[in-house]
Amino acid sequence: MLILAVTLVLFYAIISVILYNRNLDLLKSEVKQEAEYICTAVNISGPSYLEQMSQVDERTRVTQVDDEGNVLYDSSSEEDDMENHGTREEIEEALSSGTGEAVRMSDTLGRELYYYAVLLDDGSVLRVAKSMDNLALTALNVLPVMGILAVVTMALALLLAKWQTKRLIKPINELDLEHPLENTLYEELNPLLVAMDKQNKEKEAVSNMRKEFSANVSHELKTPLTSISGYAEIMKNGMVRPADIPVFSERIYKEARRLITLVEDIIKLSKLDEESVELEKEEINLYELTREVVSHLAPLASQKHIRIEITGEQVQCFGIRQILDEMIYNVCENAIKYNNEGGRVSVWVGNTLEGPKISVSDTGIGIPQEHQERIFERFYRVDKSHSKERGGTGLGLSIVKHGALLHGAKVSVESTPGKGTRMEMLFPRDKG
Ligand code: ADP
């Protein structure tokens, strides 16, 4: 509509100018012709011919001026009332070169006039003039036609635009968004449909993962609870000798502890899942943090006669303290849990070309190649009984993976069964 409106206005302006120029050209040739006739007639029959002129055509004004500029004859005014015409452009031109012309507003008539002057044989000048519409008047004459044209074309354009938009939008509204790739509509929409399909699949995967997770959680919670209730029932029925009561209590206590750890891990994971982790990122000394974690784990290591040591250098990282602590703790704890009696755990913290890095190596049981990818999944354990025996929930490395994602860090595993495992966490270089 806007383009049409602009086009119409431009068209109107151009057509007015063209019409005006055309009228002017026509008028000029007409006036010139008339002037030539009168000139010839006056040259033949003398100025008395002019006297009859005023009766012929009232729209044409004829004036005769002598070489001094005095008006000798004028078809529309009294000669005596008229001022000297010697300075008029067309008269001056005619006196010097034989003919002259000019377009200007007439003081006498109040309209635009075209003047054409010719030098007569007797040395005086004959001037013929006709009034014409100026540009504004020409434009005003064209206006009604243009107005009707504008209204009709605009109405037509509006109707067409509405109809076309409706036709284009209708199939889009009828798209099957559940199966975007099955629609064959506009080629231009394909990237959008592909993106939509990808998003649908991602949503489905997330929802499947949630379902699987809930099923796993229920199962994991049920196992220790069943054990606890079983042991308690045996004790309640008096089927346990007083001497065995400490053993049973110990089992109940262990299962209860496992339950608590499990619930704690689930809470940690679901907190990490809520993408907007409220905790603020801050500048953290990774070496100091790791040292604290290692010293917390020292009693667990010494129970198994495992030597744990930390080397490296002070290095800063921009992150969330609580989550980083959790990540380092889980990796170091695994290195102890899945180690052999009298084994070794070496922790290194330092700066590398790619960024700050924490590397944890153990001399433990190792992870077979085919399991290395999957150990980061929720509840995935290489050896279920082994893990449970060591108080594992199968969620530790999931927490590590989520934490790494939140920090833009990369976690890698290198492991040889029977020899040991090296787990590395590489953090992005601090931009500050
Ligand atoms: P868990 O609570 O069972 O330790 P994790 O998610 O921390 O759960 O680890 C998943 C599994 O990966 C463990 O059950 C274990 O089989 C294996 N794993 C992790 N770290 C090590 C390691 N350092 N050495 C050997 N196996 C490991």
89 alpha carbon – ligand 1 mean position (Å) = 108
Residue 430 has pLDDT above 80, yes or no: no
Q: In this structure, which amino acid lies at residue 387?
A: S
356-362 β-sheet, strand order: 307-312, 344-351, 356-362, 420-426, 410-416
Residues 6+ apart with CB under 8 A from 330: 396, 397, 399, 400
Ligand 1 close to Cβ of residue 100 (< 6 A)? no
Crossing angle of the two packed helices 396-407 and 321-337, in degrees rounded to 10: 140
Ligand 1 close to Cβ of residue 365 (< 6 A)? yes
Q: Which of 63-77, 135-149, 285-299 has the highest mean pLDDT?
A: 285-299
Mean pLDDT computed over 195-199: 93
Mean pLDDT computed over 98-109: 82
138 alpha carbon – ligand 1 mean position (Å) = 93
Residue with tokens 């339950």: 259
Residue 47 has pLDDT above 90, yes or no: no
Q: What is the mean pLDDT of the chain?
A: 89
- Pick from 381, 374, 387, 396: which is nearest to 266 by CA? 396
Which residue has the least CA distance to atom 21 on ligand 1?
Answer: 334
Which residue has the least CA distance to atom 8 on ligand 1?
Answer: 394
28 alpha carbon – ligand 1 mean position (Å) = 104
pLDDT of residue 432: 47
Residue with tokens 């990490």: 272
Ligand 1 close to Cβ of residue 375 (< 6 A)? yes
pLDDT of residue 108: 65
Residue 212 has pLDDT above 80, yes or no: yes
222 compared with 385, residue with greater pLDDT:
222
Residue 55 has pLDDT above 60, yes or no: yes
179 compared with 390, residue with greater pLDDT:
179
Q: Are 262 and 218 in contact (CB under 8 A)?
A: no
Q: In this structure, which amino acid lies at residue 8?
A: L
Mean pLDDT computed over 24-42: 91
Residue with tokens 């409106």: 5
Degrees, nearest 5: CA angle 177-178-184: 55
pLDDT digits (tens, 9 = 90+) for 272-325: 877 656 678 889 999 999 999 999 999 999 999 999 999 999 999 999 998 999
Mean pLDDT computed over 167-181: 87
Q: What percent of the chain has pLDDT over 90?
A: 56
Mean pLDDT computed over 32-43: 90
pLDDT of residue 341: 92
Least confident residue range of 188-192, 331-335, 413-417:
188-192
Q: Are 306 and 345 in contact (CB under 8 A)?
A: yes
pLDDT of residue 410: 95
